[in-house]
Amino acid sequence: MSEPAESLDHLEALYAVQARDTAIDVLRHRRVALPERSELDGVLRTGQGAHETMVALRARRDDLGRAVGALDLEARGIADKAKGVEAKLYSGTVTSPRELQDLQADLDQLRRHQGELEERELEQMEAAEQLDREVAAAEAVVGSLKADVARLQQAISSQETSIDAELAAEEAERGRLAAGVGAPLLADYERRRAQNNGHGAALLVGDTCQGCRLSIPSTEVDEIHHDTSGRTWYCDNCGAILVPR
């Protein structure tokens, strides 16, 4: 397929534009698909779970700390009360055997209660120590993941800067080359490139379009290679502008 069009020089310039556009597409894809991005996503997801675990452990530790404090306060109150009963028991002011017996019973009950509270407090303190260790471990994991996030973000930023510099150079060269292509041909190329997955122009090597890798009828290939009219030829399969070689 053909249309009246441009000189071979314009086609060569157009193919050079296509080469730059392909390089630009590759760089843009590379920028988006940096392996560190997917690694960072995984670390952030892991970090979210680790942070939630750490927060939950801290909450349990704090609750347990309050429970230990409450038990200690209650045990101290019982101990003070027991001291008061004991002081009264041995003060000599109470002489009634029945009353002395009741005071002794009260004292024994208070001491038992105090002992139970202190035992529960000790158990809670041991549990709190275990939670302290778990919190410390969780905090270490979160700290390590934060360091990984910082490292990956730095790596991504560094690579983005490098790729952006390459993109700027490619785009500048693309602009320079595009200036050597006639406006109608360039517009035709842009339209076909948008419709053809980035291939607006392609080399014709032998009977094969290098854009779609499909063959063109030999009679048409012969006509293209012997054409001196300056027509623009198109691949019948993918529609790319053909640049014969």
Same domain as 142, residue 41: yes
Burial class (CB in 10 A: 0-12, 13-18, 19+), 120: middle
- Indicate whether 190 belongs to any domain: yes
Same domain as 151, residue 76: yes
- Indicate whether 174 belongs to any domain: no
Same domain as 160, residue 198: no
Same domain as 161, residue 135: yes
Query: Beta partners for 100?
Result: none
- Indicate whether 83 belongs to any domain: yes
Per-residue tens of pLDDT for the chain, all 245 residues: 544 444 558 899 999 999 999 999 999 999 999 999 999 999 999 999 999 999 999 999 999 999 999 999 999 999 999 999 999 989 989 889 899 899 899 999 999 999 999 999 999 999 999 999 999 999 999 999 999 999 999 999 999 999 999 999 999 999 999 999 999 999 999 999 999 889 999 999 999 999 999 999 999 999 998 888 878 999 999 999 999 98
Q: Tell me which residue has tokens 């927060």.
A: 55
Distance CA(140)–CA(51), nearest Å, equals 11
Residue 51 CB neighbours (<10 A): 16
Q: Domain of residue 235: give its range.
A: 2-27+182-244
- Indicate whether 59 belongs to any domain: yes
Same domain as 89, residue 133: yes
Distance CA(85)–CA(80), nearest Å, equals 9
Same domain as 230, residue 199: yes
Domain count, the chain: 2
Decide the pairing of beta strands 231-234 and 2-4.
Answer: antiparallel
Rounded to the nearest 5 percent, the helix, strand and coil shares of the chain are: 75, 10, 15
Same domain as 71, residue 147: yes
Q: Looking at 114, 137, 166, which one is the last position of a domain?
A: 166
For residue 137, give the CATH number of its domain.
1.10.287.1490
Which amino acid makes up residue 242?
L
Same domain as 161, residue 198: no
Same domain as 192, residue 130: no
Q: Looking at 120, 141, 166, which one is the last position of a domain?
A: 166
Same domain as 42, residue 112: yes
Residues ≥6 apart with Cβ < 8 Å to 160: 31, 34
With contact defined as beta carbons under 8 Å apart, do 200 and 238 qualify? no
- Indicate whether 149 belongs to any domain: yes
Same domain as 97, residue 155: yes
- Indicate whether 117 belongs to any domain: yes
Same domain as 144, residue 199: no
Q: What is the pLDDT of residue 3?
A: 44
DSSP-assigned letters across all residues of 112-164: HHHHHHHHHHHHHHHHHHHHHHHHHHHHHHHHHHHHHHHHHHHHHHHHHHHHH
Q: What is the pLDDT of residue 7?
A: 53
- Indicate whether 175 belongs to any domain: no
- Indicate whether 38 belongs to any domain: yes
Q: What is the pLDDT of residue 229?
A: 82
Handedness of CA 200, 203, 204, 208 (dihedral sign): negative
Q: Looking at 131, 166, 201, which one is the last position of a domain?
A: 166
Distance CA(118)–CA(112), nearest Å, equals 10
Which amino acid makes up residue 19?
A
Q: What is the pLDDT of residue 8?
A: 54
